[in-house]
Structure formats: structure tokens, C-alpha cells
Chain A
């Protein structure tokens, strides 16, 4: 009984451990922070590179005439993103739409990895000596925070660029209470308000995907074989929804935040 419980714990733990890449120098300098999650880096890079390569190939052959079926499909995606950007973002910034597109397709693809049977890649790679492998990069906080922090940097950059350093400072000091004497209260509120953006972006995506992953792991632990389908199948279908919705939410909120950065309240 206890050994079985240990097995279960080990199984769950194994599935929630990233493949580490350690270097003595980095570890000495940075401790635990000096580790690279190879699986997250490789899977996310491969997925992004794959879809961007596809886009690039299509862009080279893109025609204003009758489009191929694939081009048509991609154009629907592009127009969908463009529509979202046009509806939400009223400034003129050529970066927003490509940024939104990249975020959307990248997150969508990384989330989609959740539908691959959870034991498939860890087992396959285990046979060639890779001890840990997590296939879904968005269940790694580093991945979600990398995107949300990048977006946060852009928010701050464009806030300063559009409103000037003074304007941005004013905004931080005079919101939500528009009195100068309230500034000491306004500043911490504003800072929390701004910091909540990247944190909520990252944690929302991570939380949804991580919990989904955990449930897949738990389902995989059921000892009765047919329960795999009875439970796994509906959860996978439900998860398809979550995959799309989370990618969409991250994209839309990015556009909204950057739009706010461009407009003064």
C-alpha cells in the first residue's frame, strides 16, 4: 500500500518535473535560478519555429489572386487577429497586430500539446535516456511569465513613449484618486494595478493549463483501464475549449493593455 502510494507520488512528481540543464558556473552564481528547462525551451521553440516557417512559406507564395486553401485558412486567422486589434486598439502601431498573432498561434500550439497522451513523449524520450520531459510548455511558469513580462515591458515602454515620463508618472500618481495629496496612496495602488497585469496574464494561462495537465495525470493513474476513456475523453474535449479560450484571452488582454498604454485616461 505504502509503496503503491509512493509510486503514485513518484509518477505525479515525474510528470511535473522539467528536464533540467545545469551548469556548475551558473548554479554556483545563481543557485536554483541558474537552471534551464530544456523541455520548455525546445518544445516551445520548435512549435513557434514550425508555425512561423509555415507562415513564412505562405507569405512567399501569397497571391492577391485566388488563394490556395491553406492561404485561405491562414488569412482567416490573420483577419481574425486584425479585426480584434482594430476593434480594441485605436492607435497606430504596426507592432500590435503581429505581436497579437504571434502570441495567439504560439500559445494555441503550446496548449495543444496538452492533448497528446501524457505518457507518450516522456516514455519515448525515456528510452533514449532523457529522464524528464514535460510536453506542454505553458504548464511551465517560466514560459507564461516570459510572455507576460515581455508584454509588461512593452506596456511600460509605450506608456512612457506616448505620454512622456512625466505624463506616465502623473498617471501613476493621480489614479485612482485625482488629488495631489492622495498621491502617496495612489502610487502603491497604481503599481499594484500595473503589476497585476503581467502576473494575472501569466498565472491565468499557467493555472488553466497546469490544472488541466494535473487532471490528465490523475486520470492516467486510475487503475481500471476503461476509465481512461470514460474520464479522459470528456476532459480532453472540454480541454480543447480551454486551449482556445486561454490563447484568445491572453491575446485580447495584451491588445487591451497595450491600447491602454497608448491612451491617456
Chain B
């Protein structure tokens, strides 16, 4: 219970311990703590930045999507236009082609008519000759003659 030399022994021990703590323990642990603090602060800032960037890129993606949609609409529109244009063109072509074909057909008809007319005329000629022959063969009977001629005419007219 009395003070004795232990006092100085303890003071030496105490001084040693404080020195050891100050030299080897305190700065190292505190450095770890402050370093981690800095790390956490940096990490939080990075997270914040990442969040912001994500927002930006989402915005950008939305814009791009809009643009792409508009472009697609444009393309479809243009395609429609082109399609109608092509259709129109085709129709026009078809019409001219049809017209020409009609024209050709008409020409052909005219030609055929001509041919038929010529054939008829030849037939008529032949019939006239035939009639004349018959008339000449038979006696002159005007009434018969007249009847024959009208028959002939009727024949010619009917065949036309």
C-alpha cells in the first residue's frame, strides 16, 4: 500500500507503452480509417456519377428510338409513295398498251373488212357473171329477168 520503487518501474512501463502506441499502432490504424473514408467518399461520388450517366444514356436511347421511329415512318411513307407511283406508271403503260392493241385490232378489223369487201366484190362479180350467164341461157323474160335480178340483189344484200 505504500509508495515504493514500483512507481518508477510503472512509469517506465507506461512511457514504453505510450511510445509503442504512438510509433507503431495509432498512426497505422488511423491511416487505415481515413483511407477507407476517402475510398467510401470516392465510391459514393462514382456511384452518383454512374447514376447520372445512366440517366443521360437513357435519355439518349429514348431520343435515338424516336429518331429511328421517325425514320422508319419516312421510309414506309416513301415506299408507299413509290408503290403508288409504280402502280400509276404501270396503269398508264397498261392503258397505252391496251389502246395500241385496240388500235391494232381496229386496224385489223378494217383490213378484214376490206378483205371481206374485196371477197364480196369478187363474189358479186362472179355472181353477176353467173347471173348474166343464166339470163343469157334462158329466154328473154323480163319478169323472170326482173325477178332474177331482185333475187340476186337480195342475195347480195343478205350476204352483206
Contact = CB atoms under 8 A, between A and B. Distances in A.
A48 B6 CA distance: 16
Interface of A: 16, 18, 26, 30, 32-37, 40-41, 44-45, 48, 52, 55-56, 58-60, 62-65, 67, 71, 74-75, 78-79, 82, 94-95, 97-99, 101-102, 106, 140-143, 145-147, 149-150
Contact of A36 (B4, B13, B14, B30): B4
Interface stretch (B17-25, B79-87, B91-99, B104-112): B17-25
A77 to B, nearest CB: 9
Contacts of A26: 5
B8 to A, nearest CB: 8
B15 A150 contact: yes
B24 A16 contact: no
Nearest to B19: A98
* Chain B: number of interface residues, binned into ranges: 20 to 34
Contact of A142 (B10, B15, B38): B10
B49 interface: no
Nearest to B9: A41
B159 to A, nearest CB: 119
Contact of B7 (A32, A65, A145): A145
Nearest to A94: B22
Contacts of B28: 59-60, 62
Contacts, number: 129
Contacts of A82: 30
Contacts of B15: 150
User: What does DSSP make chain A's interface, helix, strand, loop or mixed?
Assistant: helix
Contacts of B7: 142, 145-146, 149
Contacts of A63: 32
Interface of B: 1-11, 13-15, 17-18, 20-22, 24-26, 28-33, 35-36, 38-39
Contacts of B26: 78, 97-98, 101
* B contacts with A: majority SS: helix
Contacts of A56: 20, 24-25
Which 3 A-B residue pairings sit nearest by Cβ, starting from the closest?
A146-B10, A64-B35, A142-B6
B25 to A, nearest CB: 4
Contact of A64 (B2, B10, B20, B36): B36
A33 B3 contact: yes
A89 to B, nearest CB: 14
Contacts of B33: 75, 78-79
Nearest to B7: A142
Nearest to A16: B1
A150 B14 contact: yes
Nearest to A95: B22
B29 A146 contact: no
A45 B13 contact: yes
Contacts of B4: 30, 32-37, 142
Contact of B29 (A18, A62, A149): A62
Contacts of A64: 31-32, 35-36, 38-39
Nearest to B35: A64
Nearest to A48: B17
A149 B3 CA distance: 13
